[in-house]
Amino acid sequence: MLLIGLLCAEPILSQAPAFDTSYVILSSAEYDYRNPSFYKCGSDLNYFIADALFAYEKWSSGTVSNIACRLITFNSMSPEVMLTSDQHINSKPAVAYFSDFSQPQNNKGAVVFESDRNGNKDVYFASFDGSAWSTAVNLTLSQEDERDPAIMPYGINGVYNYLTAYEKNGEIYLKNFFGGSWLDDICITIAESLHCITPEVTPVQYPEQSRFYIAYLKRLNDSLTSITYRYGVISVSGAISLISEVAVRQEGSQSNISFAKALNSWQLNYDYDTLGVKQFYSVAPYQNYYVITNNSEFTEGSNYCGTGSSHGDITGEMPVYAGICWLNRQNDTVSVIARKWGTFNFPKKFFAGTSGYNGFVNMSPKLVHQGMFRLRMIWESEHNGRTALYESYMDDNLSAIPDNEGGSPDRFRLYQNFPNPFNPVTTISYDLPNSGFVMLKVYDMLGREVKTLVNEMKTAGFHKAQFTAEGLASGAYFYRLSVSGIAGEFVAVKKCVVVK
């Protein structure tokens, strides 16, 4: 039995301005900073992740660039660490970063990137153990170009692993770091007659800890590319199985794909060229179908290079707790546009460049600090004759906080439990504008009842119940409030997490 109406949570309004300021965060008279990159597919269920791994390109000339990394928090950045320091072109960093309930900062991670140091394009890998970086080593070394690397982290039986993807000769390859060593490359498009490029990959999905998606573009002809994604499974032995293949059908050309977290699922963002004008689209992929959204439908001009980021809050308020951003070109001006995802608030515009601008914009995952979270949006723009990285940000509360100071409730409300995650006790608050018969129950992920917290008549007012998780395993649970009375029936459900 699975709960019906599981995500009928009441939306909560923002508590702080979204994307109101912009400023330079990285600039230099000697270098151009380009291609800000984050890992944005972290855990849904972690309120305490306080930092993110941030990588970028550092160009000293048109033929020399190196890869740099920092840890970025709510309002600061760690010192720069150079993963390369040679006279070649090192570019296209992709980031993987683990979320750990017990450790909000300095977790394990890795970066892959493309380099021409051996005379052609190869893929390189460097790992972060929480305090120091390894030396960058090549994952591929052949006479053919290996391009456009992607990477995701995953854990099996407490072991940290990575899955990388890249393109070679119009084929998409996977390479798996499992159990402490790299396994053989796997070509997943060997039966495909079309040229395949630019792979993107998600981490495994909670709670099964085995499923993932890989997406890539197929080159249909010289001017038309189309999205295909595959649904895959990684076994406890590290074996990879690709189960289904889905083509995202649209008449125009699709390009510039990237995954980002969107609450309990993934969002595959991309550019869609229709009638010669690009628009910023997203597709929500499922095993055998998908849902398409035009994110820039009401924005004039050409809209492209879009991305999004949700902090994966374990309430149902994804439209409030997420942001999207993209580039907009109108006449000779290119702007960065940012807004909350799924809401009707007015988007904010920031100047990025003139008609020759070919920059990039990206958005961090959630960064938590003292009951707040921040999404940091970073883009490229000219500054004192060089390319610098600019920033704006969106803040909000992590969850609704009941205001019980005087007065009486004006409506039924079920609040997010606090603390969350918790061990072993948490408090659940709820408001009753009228008296009624109250049932507050806790269920596991399969919909099985595990605790009854309230089962009685309650008067109008502000109420609290304690949930003690003794005897329950670590993981996600749902708590469901139902109220029956003269005002009818009210039902709401939220998630909570037990960590032991």
Query: Where do the domains of the chain lie, and which CATH numbers do they carry?
Result: 23-397 (2.120.10.10), 413-498 (2.60.40.1930)
pLDDT for the residue 73: 94
User: Is a pLDDT exceeding 90 seen at residue 198?
Assistant: yes
3-class secondary-structure state, position 403? coil
- Comparing 235 with 122, the larger pLDDT belongs to 122
pLDDT mean over 50-62? 95
pLDDT mean over 151-168? 91
Where does the pLDDT of residue 351 fall: very low under 50, low under 70, confident under 90, or very high at 90 and above? very high
Most confident of 259-273, 289-303, 333-347: 289-303
Residue 259: strand pairing partners? 268
User: Is a pLDDT exceeding 90 seen at residue 252?
Assistant: yes
pLDDT for the residue 11: 31
3-class secondary-structure state, position 326? strand
Phi, psi of 478 (to 5 degrees): -115, 140
pLDDT for the residue 241: 93
Asked if residue 250 lies in contact with residue 272, where contact means CB atoms within 8 angstroms, the answer is yes
Most confident of 122-131, 321-330, 445-454: 122-131
User: Is a pLDDT exceeding 50 seen at residue 2?
Assistant: no
Asked if residue 32 lies in contact with residue 76, where contact means CB atoms within 8 angstroms, the answer is no
Lowest mean pLDDT among 167-176, 308-317, 346-355: 308-317
Residue 363: strand pairing partners? 377
Tell whether the torsion through CA atoms of 294, 299, 305 and 307 is positive or negative.
negative
> How many angstroms separate the CA atoms of 199 and 253, rounded?
16
Could you tell me which of 251, 239, 186, 189 has the C-alpha nearest to residue 216? 189
